Structure 1
Amino acid sequence: MGTNSFLKVLPEMVTFLRVAELGSFSAAADLLGMTPSAASRQVKRLEKEIGVQLLQRTTRQLRLTEAGAEAFARCRELVLAAQGAMEVGEQFASKPSGLVRISAPKAFARRVLHPHILEFLRRYPDVDVQLVVADRDIDPIREGVDLVVRLTTKPPEGLVARRLMAVAHILCATPAYLARHAAIAHPDDLRGHSCLSLGEHERDNHWRFRKDGAEPAEVVVRGRYVSNHSEVRLEAALAGLGVACVPAFIAREALEAGRLARVLADWEFQGNYQGHAYILYPPNRFTAPKCQVLVDHLREALAEG
């Protein structure tokens, strides 16, 4: 391909990128405002220009060829660079302005981010925020989100990851429940209690604990109510149904108000959903000031002291 020949297939590269990301000509066409047949023709033109097959097409799925995977990575870099170029003007603006779209899991968005975003909006009157609340992994490039908050032990490759705070699970119950039932001084004591667990996986009722100077413990617990939503487990604990495992940030207000009490606070509860909250964004060379100030604001507000 000649030095400037790629210019005529730039739209085809974008179409190929979206088709590969979404795994569907129809979905990519909807996103790009064209027909599926037009999207298919553009990918075929790109394959003809490059001289290799990029996608293996079957009746059920699309799969990248080896050459297609390499082309996909290059096209993604191209789109990221183009997005950065579109934001160059903003780099030289006197102050941050514009809309920032940020996504986060439901409970974390409501309990942790929301109060700090309110303060951010007061501090930066020229920046608007759209908080996208979703309990699924959001792809910022594909879904047009500037910043993504994800709770994980390992941030995904290909995105810049900035740590916000540790996310730990704790055990808690109402003082009234604890007063009515046998004392809990060791993890083994949980066997005689109603325990509110997640139930997403087979071993979610196998609660593991660690404590300096003591043997690790694992207890198979039982309870009358199981839910994979942390706020539901919190409300069940507040209703006196038993001992719940919940993220510490979910229980903070109830603990401070005395409506809940920590259980086995001297033991580390080793749940399957621990790690850190990270704020993620595409690795553009330039980060728009409106995004950078929000990242900095949240990191400062949630800094682990």
Structure 2
Amino acid sequence: MVTFVRVAELGSFSAAATNLGMTPSAVSRQVSRLERNLKIQLIQRTTRQLRLTEAGIEAFARCSDLVCAAQATMQVAQLHSLAPQGCLRLSAPKAFARRVMHPLILDFLASHAEVDVQLVVTDRDVDPIKDGIDLVVRLTRSPPEGLAARALCPVETILCATPQYLAQTGPIEHPRDLVSRSCLFLGENPSDHRWRFRRDNESVDVAVNGRYAVNHTEMRLGGVLAHFGVGCLPDFVARPAMQQGAIVRVLPDWQLQSAYSGHAYVLYPPNRFLPPKCRVLIDYLVEGIASPGERVRHASPTLLSATA
């Protein structure tokens, strides 16, 4: 049943074999054995893809529940003691991981000696099941279906420049003023030089140009600090420099429409038997991000409920 569940989740015998540490032929034999015992076909096999039959869909739902229950049974001692322990794999986007999560994880490790963390820093969308990740942090406007989600914090892309640059070029009072300014943008796609703004019911689309395009937030911040123009930055990257007065926000009344905006969510497979190591880290991140600088180092946070 475990083998069948992995094949259904991952969509191929070879991917399930890699996940389970088996050979594809062994995985195929396990699924065939289950089908013989049930006397019904669960998976339709073609040269290009696998598809669950109607009976396979129902069997997958029931087998998934059994697998979750079995995993919970194996963790019963840990669940009973509520003691977080073991290795936890966590993924997060690069800038958010470095600026927001890394300091909190260091504190978390110091206060939870029985938990190890492997942080996978990547900007690609990670699938917790296929990639074998316990918790996934993703920046999005809405969490994907099929995963449980806990909101960490809102994320906004903002425009910033140094006071020196603005003193030289004059104030920027409307998005159209950016046409005559030097702007730092991503440059990954042809559309990256078009910035779209919204204020109440008004929308403006502006084509910007500049001497430096770079798809790395820290480098764009460096370009802004070097007075090369107006840069688009995630608010959590810009905030420290803004607090120091090194840069200021440009067009604060306008919302820059960006894929790097929305909320930071921590995602995980929906499982009411979520291990304590995952619950306690989720709680730690939520509390630490909501109250930066106010957290007592090495304090023991309250566990989330099993349904959180």
Q: Does TM, scored on the shorter chain, surpass 0.5?
A: yes
| 1:199 positional shift | 4.0
Task: Please list the CA deviations of residues 81-117 of structure 1 after superposition, one character each: whole Å capped at 9, or x if unmatched.
Answer: 2222222211222643333222211111111011111
Distance 1:25 1:111 in 2: 39
Is the alpha carbon distance of 1:177 and 1:66 closer, same or farther for their aligned partners in structure 2, counting shifts above 3 Å?
farther
Q: Which residue in 1 is equivalent to 2:119?
A: 131
Cα contact 2:82–2:276 (8 A) shared by 1: no
Aligned to 1:99: 87
Q: Which residue of 2 aligns with 1:230?
A: 217
Rounded Cα–Cα distance in structure 2 between residues aligned with 1:291 and 1:140: 13
CA separation of 1:201 and 1:84: change in aligned 2, threshold 3 A = farther
SS at match of 1:139: coil
The Cα of 1:193 is off from its aligned counterpart by 1.6
Q: Is the 8 A contact 1:173 1:243 kept in 2?
A: yes
- Match of 2:117, SS state, is strand
Name the amino acid aligned to 1:197.
Answer: F
Cα offsets for 1:28-61 (capped at 9, x unmatched): 2233222221212222222333344333333333
The verdict on how the C-alpha distance between 1:94 and 1:204 changes in structure 2, with shifts beyond 3 A counting, is closer
Question: Tell me, what secondary structure is at the counterpart of 2:192?
Answer: coil
Q: Distance in 1 between matches of 2:37 and 2:83?
A: 43
Q: Residue 210 of structure 1 is aligned with which of 177, 189, 198?
A: 198
Structure 2 residues not aligned, in runs of 5+: 293-308
Q: Look up the match of 1:284.
A: 271
* Structure 1: gaps spanning 5 or more residues: 1-12
Q: What residue in structure 2 maps to residue 80 of structure 1?
A: 68
- 1:73 and 1:227 map into 2 onto residues whose CA distance is 45
For these two proteins, the number of residue pairs brought into alignment is 292
Summarize the Cα distance change of 1:27–1:253 in structure 2 as closer, same or farther, 3 Å threshold: same
> Which residue in 1 is equivalent to 2:11?
23
- Whether the 8 Å CA contact 2:9–2:129 is kept in 1: the answer is no
Aligned: 1:34 with 2:56: no
Tell me how large the CA RMSD over aligned residues is. Answer: 2.5
1:119 correspondence with 2:130: no
Specify the alignment match of 1:301 in structure 2: 288
Q: Is the 8 A contact 1:206 1:218 kept in 2?
A: yes
Change (3 A) 1:136 1:78: farther
Q: Percent identity?
A: 62
TM-score with structure 2 length normalisation? 0.84
What corresponds to 2:252 in structure 1? 265
Distance 1:61 1:168 in 2: 40
Deviation larger for 268-277 or 135-144: 135-144
Deviation at 1:162, TM superposition (A): 1.1
